[in-house]
């Protein structure tokens, strides 16, 4: 058993770092070997069979990208989720090993925790912490037909909790992009890959398509992998991958949390002239009606302050989904803006957000911003008209009322984008 598991872990290392002899490659191998040796992450197969009642259908939580996921309880009382690789799945095997490698390197409260792994004959399994509130999509997009328990939890997903999810996912992405040992680009940020624990803390999950980007690597070619509706246009059309691709996906997720609707669900949108949630958000924003995007289930109970917060979130989401990746803020600036919105809801300070242009859609060409328009939000009032950098009033459309901070989030500010990919 131990030999098979060591071979499994060695296979993960080899797949990602091959036979490279340079210093950084050797360090990566040494780091991963140290993890395997010191953290005792290898589970006995018999332990997982007992924990899941022999992988009973009654314990099945769902079907992942490479196989089923089961709920289990270990002898020490910990509840776990066990991912089991479907036999004969070559693509699943690559994603499985990818996830094992990447999650063995990270530890953050907004990233799902990998407890360990197991290799037993043809069976390969990953063991995670169990999160009781399921994935975000099952609650956010629930329409009431899934049972009493889920309807109750859907009702509990009020705006305050949704904002907690927004902030937590932003914090998790910031960690992956800037604080992990090596930059990690997730490539598949979406509601079904956000898990919610018992305290509604979001956990980014499913790293099967994620990519490592060492500091000395500037670009390589990449195949396109992800979910339609969440992928950035430059990635879909040209295979150009950077951290800004995750920023785009986050912007789409942010709009979905506001609206309670999927970006890819066209028929249910109130406006028949738009083809996606992203287009509808842009149309409402130009009219100064961003708050109308809000989930109808929340509208009756939302406060004036929360409505202002919603308007700013819509504008920030549009900045994250700009067609030109250089016009999108990085996750550090996104998180700072969201934090300021949270901490200054009861103050009279101001938040300045740059005016977005039309969001990016696959096939649509983009142009550089040729102006310096911004929208200034002051608590308890309608958003000021956009102004240019010289302070002159502009006739460009503005978002509705909002709050908070002296921080300026400028998507037009030039930043170095690490373009990277995988053979």
Q: Which residue has the higher pLDDT, 61 or 122?
A: 61
Is position 273 annotated as part of the catalytic site?
A: no
* pLDDT confidence bin for 407, thresholds 50/70/90: very low
**CATH number, domain at 85?**
3.30.200.20
pLDDT at 247: 97
Instruction: Please indicate, yes or no, whether residues 228 and 361 belong to a single structural domain of this protein.
Output: yes
User: What is the structure's pLDDT at 77?
Assistant: 92
125 with 153, same domain: the answer is no
Catalytic residue among 31, 188, 271, 330: 188
Q: Residue 240: its pLDDT value, please?
A: 86
Residues whose CB is less than 8 angstroms from the CB of residue 23 and which lie 6 or more positions away in sequence, other chains included: none
* Confidence (pTM): 0.78
- Check pLDDT > 90 for residue 111: yes
Q: Per-residue pLDDT averaged across 265-284, rounded?
A: 82
**What confidence score (pLDDT) does residue 16 get?**
40
pLDDT of residue 344: 52
pLDDT at position 348 is 45
Containing domain of residue 59, as a range? Answer: 2-129
Confidence of residue 399 (pLDDT cuts 50, 70, 90): very low
Structural domain ending residue among the three candidates 108, 129, 150: 129
Which pLDDT band, with edges at 50, 70 and 90, does 228 fall under?
confident
For the chain, give the secondary structure using H, E and C: CHHHHHHHHHHHHHHHHCCCCCHHHHHHHHHHHHHHHHCCCECCHHHHHHHCCCCCHHHEEEECCCCEEEEEECCCCCEEEEEECCCCCHHHHHHHHHHHHHHCCCCCCCECCEEEEEEECCEEEEEEECCCCCEHHHHHCCCCCCCHHHHHHHHHCCHHHHHHHHHHHHHHHHHHHHHCCCEEECCCCCHHHEEECCCCCEEECCCCCCEEECCCCCCCCCCCCCCCCCCCHHHHHHCCECHHHHHHHHHHHHHHHHHCCCCCCCCCCCCCCCCCHHHHHHHHHHCCCHHHHCCCCCHHHCCHHHHHHHHHHHHHHHHHCECCHHHCCCHHHHHHHHHHHHHCCCCCCEEEEECCCCECCCCCCCCCCCCCCEEEEECCCCCCCCECCCCCECCCCCCCCCCCCCCEECCCCCCCCCCECCC
d(CA 122, CA 92): 13
Q: Please determine, for residue 394, whether its predicted confidence score (pLDDT) is greater than 50.
A: no
> What whole-number distance in Å separates Cα of residue 316 and Cα of residue 276?
18
Do 125 and 143 fall within a single domain? no
Q: Which residue shows structure tokens 């992956």?
A: 176
Which of 28-37, 82-91, 269-278 shows the lowest mean pLDDT across its residues?
28-37
The answer to whether residues 125 and 149 belong to one domain is no
The whole-number average pLDDT for the span 168-181 is 95
> Within a domain: residue 280?
yes
Domain closes at, from 63, 97, 129: 129
Average pLDDT (303-327) is: 93
Q: Is residue 313 a part of any domain in this protein?
A: yes
Query: Does the pLDDT of residue 27 top 60, yes or no?
Result: no
Asked if residue 317 has pLDDT above 90, the reply is: yes
Mean of pLDDT values over 309-323: 96
Please state the rounded mean pLDDT for residues 265-293. Answer: 86
- Is residue 101 located within the same domain as residue 65? yes
Show contacts of 87-93: CB within 8 Å, 24+ apart.
87/122, 87/123, 91/66, 92/65, 92/66, 92/67, 93/66, 93/124
Task: Please report the pLDDT score of residue 33 as a whole number.
Answer: 46
Residues 118 and 151 in one domain: no
Would you say residue 417 lies in a domain? no
pLDDT at position 103 over 90: no
**Is residue 96 domain-resident?**
yes
For residue 134 the two structure tokens come to 């399921």
Q: Is the pLDDT of residue 377 over 60?
A: no
Most confidently modeled range among 16-25, 127-136, 249-258, 306-315: 249-258
**Res. 302 pLDDT band, cuts 50 70 90:** confident
pLDDT-based confidence at 148, cuts 50/70/90? low
Whether 34 is covered by a domain: the verdict is yes
Average pLDDT over residues 367-381: 52
Per-residue pLDDT band at 388 (split at 50, 70, 90): very low
Which segment, 98-112, 114-128, 134-148, 307-321, is predicted with the most confidence on average? 307-321
Residue 232 pLDDT exceeds 80: yes
Identify the pLDDT of residue 376: 60
Q: What is the mean pLDDT of the chain?
A: 76
In a domain, 398, yes or no: yes
Domain end, chosen from 82, 111, 129, is at 129
Number of domains forming the structure of the chain: 2
pLDDT confidence bin for 412, thresholds 50/70/90? very low
Range of weakest confidence among 35-44, 57-66, 132-141, 193-202: 35-44
- The domain that contains 355 carries what CATH number? 1.10.510.10
């Amino acid at each position: 058993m131990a030999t098979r598991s060591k071979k499994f872990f060695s296979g993960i290392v080899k797949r990602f770092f091959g036979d490279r002899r340079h210093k950084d490659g050797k360090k990566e191998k040494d780091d991963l070997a140290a993890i395997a040796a010191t953290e005792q992450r290898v589970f006995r197969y018999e332990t997982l069979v007992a924990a899941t009642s022999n992988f009973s259908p009654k314990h099945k939580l769902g079907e992942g990208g490479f196989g089923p996921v089961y709920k289990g309880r270990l002898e020490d009382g910990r509840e776990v989720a066990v991912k089991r690789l479907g036999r004969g799945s070559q693509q699943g095997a690559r994603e499985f090993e990818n996830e094992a490698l990447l999650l063995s390197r990270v530890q953050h409260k907004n990233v799902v925790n990998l407890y360990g792994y197991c290799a037993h004959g043809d069976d390969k399994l990953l063991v995670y912490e169990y999160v009781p509130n399921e994935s975000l999509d099952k609650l956010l997009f629930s329409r009431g037909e899934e049972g009493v328990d889920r309807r109750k939890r859907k009702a509990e997903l009020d705006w305050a909790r949704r904002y907690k999810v927004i902030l937590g996912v932003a914090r998790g992405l910031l960690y992956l992009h800037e604080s992990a040992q090596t930059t990690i680009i997730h490539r598949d940020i979406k509601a079904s890959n956000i898990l919610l624990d018992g305290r509604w803390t979001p956990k980014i999950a499913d790293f099967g398509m994620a990519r490592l980007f060492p500091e000395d690597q500037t670009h390589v070619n990449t195949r396109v992998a992800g979910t339609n509706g969440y992928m950035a246009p430059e990635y879909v059309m040209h295979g150009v991958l950077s951290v800004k691709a995750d920023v785009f996906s986050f912007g789409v997720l942010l709009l979905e949390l506001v609206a309670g609707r999927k970006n890819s669900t066209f028929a249910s949108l109130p406006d028949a002239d738009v083809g996606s949630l992203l287009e509808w958000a842009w149309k409402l924003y130009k009219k100064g009606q961003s708050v109308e995007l809000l989930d109808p289930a929340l509208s009756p109970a939302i406060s004036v302050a929360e409505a202002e917060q919603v308007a700013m979130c819509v504008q920030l989401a549009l900045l994250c989904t700009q067609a030109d990746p250089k016009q999108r803020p990085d996750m550090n600036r996104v998180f700072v803006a969201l934090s300021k919105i949270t901490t200054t809801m009861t103050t009279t300070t101001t938040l300045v957000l740059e005016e977005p242009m039309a969001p990016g859609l696959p096939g649509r060409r983009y142009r550089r911003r040729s102006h310096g328009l911004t929208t200034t939000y002051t608590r308890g009032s309608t958003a000021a008209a956009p102004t240019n950098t010289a302070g002159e009033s502009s006739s460009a459309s503005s978002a509705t009322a909002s709050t908070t901070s002296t921080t300026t989030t400028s998507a037009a500010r030039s930043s170095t984008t690490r373009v990277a990919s995988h053979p």
